[in-house]
Amino acid sequence: MSNQNENPSTEVINSEEEKGANVSFFKKMGNFFKIIGVAIYHFFKNPTVLYILRRIGSSLITLFLVATVVFLLLRIIPKENYLNIDAMNKMSSEAAKEVYRQTIYKKFGFDKPLIVQLAYFWRDIIPVIPHRYCLEYKFVDNTFSEMICKPGESKVFWMYLGQSQILEKNKTIWAILGSKMPISFGISIISTLITYIIGYPLGVMMAKNKGKLVDKLGNGYIILSLALPSLVFYCIIWLLFMKMGLGATFSPSEKNYAVLIGPIFAMVFLSVPGQAMWVRRFMVDEGDADYVKFARSKGLSENRIMFTHVLRNAAVPLVRNFPAAFVGSIIGSYYAESVWSIPGTGRLLITAMNAQKPDNELVQGLTIVYAAISMIAFLLGDIVTVFADPRIKLTK
């Protein structure tokens, strides 16, 4: 009997303990989410974070407007430019040509009002909902009465920028950039790194020895690089390297990377003077500041003043160009790739525009990509500047 009387009380105690444990658990979870909420609140309250978010928002709006303007401008061009004339000329009958023509027009939405075409274009470039696109069509049979999507050529894209119709037949913009960007980026990033490695010390030496032999030689180098036309210089370097056996056309399949020494040398030679000129200018301007005079009055050595104080402050305006230089390396160099016939992205946009018949979709896609790269570079430049100098505020 005693055991039977104790069981209910034991159950009540266990129930109370479980309730207490549950209350404690929910209390801990509430405190946890409260801490997370406070952290998020303070994070978004930070002026720098708010500035970055506003800049991202304004950049997206600008990119959206740029894409819209490019789309509308290209729609002014006759729609016949979207046809592959070479493919049409190989067709055996006028009926086949007409079916092909109407299929392509339907693909680009020319059978719909302009506002509907624009709405489809916005849907394609905004990576929110994936869509399936047909990259190549074929005739159903020999009657040429209908064209359907070629088996295996229907793919899903989150962001569809179109495909080349002229230069790279039926290849998507992403596929073209994926094959060409690594080449341009590799050449440009190496040239950029070497430029900074040589340009900064040269500018420092010129500023430190203002009016002396080193400064005069450096200024002569700068004037020479500004006076010499870039294309002429690239051609001269190409001829010199050709005589050394290093001027042949670059081919990724052959992996003849020695050919790239010429374009890298030419890009570095023309880029170093500009870098050195700005470093010298900012350091000379800082050299007359009050804090430099105060440091000299305290008896600090010129080397310590130059490298500890002057260079640190003079580098702030130059730091802003770092992201643009490295992000811009993706686009490549038009002159270098043209002279050395490098299959990169440097001359891709110009070639697409100057072709016998402009490659409209390629021009449209590249314009959007390059605009996005520019906006990212400017945004990163602002952020890097703040970290380089805490005195600079991006907000009021």
Mutual angle of helices 261-287 and 230-243, in 10-degree steps? 130
Q: What is the reported pLDDT for 26?
A: 64
Distance of CA 224 to the CA centre of its chain: 31
Query: Cα angle vertex 345, ends 237, 136, to 5°?
Result: 140
Q: What is the reported pLDDT for 1?
A: 45
Mean pLDDT by 10 residues, the chain (396 residues): 51 55 64 76 75 84 89 84 78 84 86 88 84 84 80 84 80 88 88 90 87 90 88 89 77 78 90 89 79 78 74 73 78 83 84 78 88 84 73 59
Q: What is the reported pLDDT for 375?
A: 84
> Which residue has tokens 């190409």?
238
Q: What is the reported pLDDT for 198?
A: 92
What whole-number distance in Å separates Cα of residue 363 and Cα of residue 361? 5
What whole-number distance in Å separates Cα of residue 384 and Cα of residue 323? 8
Scanning 77-212, the segments in alpha helix (DSSP H) are 85-89, 94-107, 114-125, 173-208
Q: What is the reported pLDDT for 112?
A: 87
- What is the token pair recorded at 22? 């549950």
